Amino acid sequence: MKFSTIGNTITLRQGETLQLSIHVQDSNGATVDYTGYTARMQIRADHTSSAVLDIDSTSEITLGSSNPNIQINVAETVTKNLPAPFFGFYELELDSSGTVTKPLTGKIVIEPEVTK
């Protein structure tokens, strides 16, 4: 699955590789350089529930200075264990020395896997 629009609903099937390629630009249209940032992303049923997926820039999230400047890759071995059917929310948080931004938030739908 490829995704490049901020703020939309992500639809994912259990057992499918989640691949998000995101291009974030500043107000002048230049690609934002996220080199040196740390990142984490969580998926939850609601804003106060336990996370069903918690990933970060140590493995699943790659940040940089070129287009796309944020890449998320979650293996099918991880997504096959996500609950389904599931309707919830996701949020990507980026941190640069204590300055936090959240360039990607929205809803997520996880559909049950048929082929196992």
| 23 within domain boundaries | yes
For 4-60, how does the pLDDT look when each residue is reduced to its tens digit (9 = 90+)?
A: 445 688 999 999 999 999 988 888 889 999 999 999 999 999 989 999 999 999 999
Cα 95 to Cα 112: distance, rounded to the nearest angstrom:
33
Domain assignment of residue 23, given as a range: 10-111
Q: Which residues pair with 51 in a beta bridge?
A: 44
What is the percentage of the chain residues whose pLDDT exceeds 90?
75
Residue with tokens 């400047």: 69
Distance of CA 31 to the CA centre of its chain: 18
Question: What CATH number is associated with residue 14?
Answer: 2.60.40.10
**pTM for this predicted structure:** 0.87
- Whether residue 36 is contained in a domain is answered as yes
Q: Could you report the per-residue pLDDT of 67-81, keeping only the tens digit for each?
A: 999 999 999 999 999
Residue 27 inside a domain? The answer is: yes
- Gap between the Cα atoms of 50 and 116, Å rounded: 26
Q: What percent of the chain has pLDDT over 70?
A: 94
Looking at the structure of the chain, the number of domains it has is 1
Q: Does the pLDDT at position 1 exceed 90?
A: no
